[in-house]
Amino acid sequence: MTIKPLVLLPDPILREPSKAVERVDDDLRRLADDMLETMYDAPGIGLAAIQIGEPIRMLVVDVSKDDEEKSPFVVINPEIVATGDDVSIYEEGCLSIPDYYAEVERPASVTVNYLDRDGAQQTLSADGMLATCVQHEIDHLNGVLFIDHISKLKRDMVIKKFTKLARQRGTTRL
């Protein structure tokens, strides 16, 4: 497995919708393994393929706590088919927007149809942190960042800060 470099704000690829995965094969499973390795190394609890520069509809998640056994799963071509009526607010962060956190309101529960790492159709019904994490990562696949769920003023400040940092590093594709 290989740890991949993370794509950081303001890279415009983060705003591009990802394309559906056409075939689940060994290459895709290797990419999923690399994504998990990258996510654990960061460390994070979720990672969308676009965050390592791969514009495909795949994400990985593991919301197990540090003292628990890891329980990763791979989600390919996810489709939200239902959300609960209740909402929850979590302080979210993002590996592509390091060291910035904000409270985001999302549906408290979600049902998602997807393919697993073997290409089998699955349905996930999630609530709590898992529901938030899955919605956050699916947003990435649609070119949406968690800062799009906060006030325009705060969002503009974050984008300005990360644009300035990218220019200083010389790493942005603006």
Q: Give me the domain span that covers residue 160.
A: 12-168
Q: How far apart are CA 150 and CA 143, in angstroms?
A: 16
Number of Cβ within a 10 Å radius of residue 8: 19
Tell me, what CATH number does 147's domain have? Answer: 3.90.45.10
Q: List the catalytic residues.
A: 137
Q: Is residue 3 part of a domain?
A: no
> Would you call 132 exposed, middle or buried from its count of C-beta atoms within 10 A (0-12, 13-18, 19+)?
buried
Structurally, the chain folds into a number of domains equal to 1
**Pick from 4-8, 69-73, 120-124, 165-169: least confident:** 165-169
* Cα distances (angstroms) measured from residue 50 to each of 37, 75, 81, 118, 120: 15, 13, 22, 21, 22
pLDDT at 144 over 80: yes
Q: Is residue 6 part of a domain?
A: no
Q: Is residue 85 part of a domain?
A: yes
57-75, pLDDT tens digit by residue?
999 999 998 889 999 999 9
The one-character DSSP state at 94 is E
Which among 136, 115, 110, 108 has a CA at the least distance from the CA of 46?
A: 136
pTM: 0.95
Model confidence at 108, pLDDT cuts 50, 70, 90, reads very high
Which among 64, 135, 140, 160 has a CA at the least distance from the CA of 95?
A: 140
Q: Is residue 125 part of a domain?
A: yes
Model confidence at 174, pLDDT cuts 50, 70, 90, reads very low
Q: Is residue 5 part of a domain?
A: no
